Amino acid sequence: MRTRLTIADWILSLIMVCLILVTVVPLLNALALSFSSNLAAVEPGIHLWPKEFSIVGYQTAWRKLQFWRPFMNSVYVTAVGSFLHMAASSMAAYALLQRDFPLRKPVIWLMLLSMTVPGEAIMVPLYIVNRELGLLNTYTSLIIAGMVSGFTILLLFNYFRSVPLSLMEAARLDGAGDFTIFTRVFLPVSKPGLAAVGLFQVVGRWNQFREPLLYITNKAKSTIQIALREVSMLSDATSGTDVVLANTRMAAVVIGVSVLVLVFPFVQKHFIQGIVLGATKE
């Protein structure tokens, strides 16, 4: 059956197209400028396609601006921090699942309460703690920042509750310990939840800005978001002769989002499934 489009449908479609253009056009402009030559990069207007294809912007950003250093710093912090976050949170969720866990409900309420506290409210206390522990200007300060969260623990706890307790008891009768049950029984059935948590962590840690801005003053240990801020604040030149053009800045932006663009397609299926199941399971 053919469906007639009403005026409201046309208006909603027009609004959707406008929203898509607002989102896509800046990205296309950044991508086109990043692959443009120095001469084409100084031309005014919006570019949706490189006029003179060139990778000089990437060469300048990667070598002259040494963008590879904050890029690798962010890769290290993101990989290690995300792994430790998933490991610690999943083990905490498994501990909450135990019947003999003391004060389970008060602990869960405390986790929910911690989710209501904004990061800005504890920014100064966290800085003081890191300073007293001697963690300033170290990767450790960025890795342990948010290494566990109530949201992740409760999300994985919800997944672990879907595993029948009889399966756990059968594994114990077969002589399996808690670590074996945790790794062989609970983790395999929680892959969608772990994928969702992992993607949240990768995106959050890759886009980390407040923590490196507070804890890191050594430029050699700065992360990619701080480097992008410095590149965007450059007016005309890094020195008397090296001019930072728009293609170099946009190349830095493309490098900054490249990891997220490459990671998301591999976990998209599990991520969507994890969010849906995590929201509907009892």
CA–CA separation, 148 and 145 (whole Å): 8
In this predicted structure, the answer to whether residue 226 has a pLDDT above a threshold of 80 is yes
Say whether both 149 and 127 belong to one domain: yes
Give me the mean pLDDT over the 91-102 stretch.
86
What's the pLDDT score for residue 268? Answer: 65
* Mean of per-residue pLDDT scores for the chain: 84
Say whether both 101 and 237 belong to one domain: yes
Say whether both 122 and 235 belong to one domain: yes
Say whether both 112 and 205 belong to one domain: yes
Domain of residue 222, CATH code? 1.10.3720.10
Let me know if residue 62 belongs to a domain.
no
What's the pLDDT score for residue 74? Answer: 94
Reported as a single tens digit per residue, the pLDDT across 170-202 is: 888 888 888 888 888 888 877 878 888 888 888
Burial of 251 (0-12, 13-18, 19+ CB in 10 A): buried
Say whether both 49 and 75 belong to one domain: no
Say whether both 43 and 76 belong to one domain: no
Higher-confidence residue of 37 and 276: namely: 37
CA–CA separation, 41 and 64 (whole Å): 18
What's the pLDDT score for residue 239? Answer: 47
Give every CB contact of residue 86 below 8 A, 6+ residues apart in sequence: 152, 194, 197, 198, 201
Give me the mean pLDDT over the 259-277 stretch.
68
Let me know if residue 127 belongs to a domain.
yes
Say whether both 16 and 86 belong to one domain: no
In this predicted structure, the answer to whether residue 9 has a pLDDT above a threshold of 90 is no
Say whether both 141 and 269 belong to one domain: yes
Let me know if residue 162 belongs to a domain.
yes
Let me know if residue 172 belongs to a domain.
yes
In this predicted structure, the answer to whether residue 221 has a pLDDT above a threshold of 50 is yes
In this predicted structure, the answer to whether residue 25 has a pLDDT above a threshold of 70 is yes
Say whether both 104 and 49 belong to one domain: no
Give me the mean pLDDT over the 98-112 stretch.
85
Say whether both 156 and 40 belong to one domain: no
SS (H, E, C) 82-112: HHHHHHHHHHHHHHHHCCCCCCHHHHHHHHH
Residue 259: domain span = 67-280
Higher-confidence residue of 65 and 134: namely: 134
Q: Number of C-alpha atoms within 13 angstroms, CB side, residue 114?
A: 14
Give me the mean pLDDT over the 19-23 stretch.
89
Say whether both 101 and 170 belong to one domain: yes
Let me know if residue 60 belongs to a domain.
no
Let me know if residue 176 belongs to a domain.
yes
Let me know if residue 59 belongs to a domain.
no
Reported as a single tens digit per residue, the pLDDT across 138-172 is: 999 999 988 888 888 988 888 888 777 778 888 88
Looking at the structure of the chain, the number of domains it has is: 2
Give me the mean pLDDT over the 8-26 stretch.
89
In this predicted structure, the answer to whether residue 281 has a pLDDT above a threshold of 80 is no
Say whether both 26 and 72 belong to one domain: no
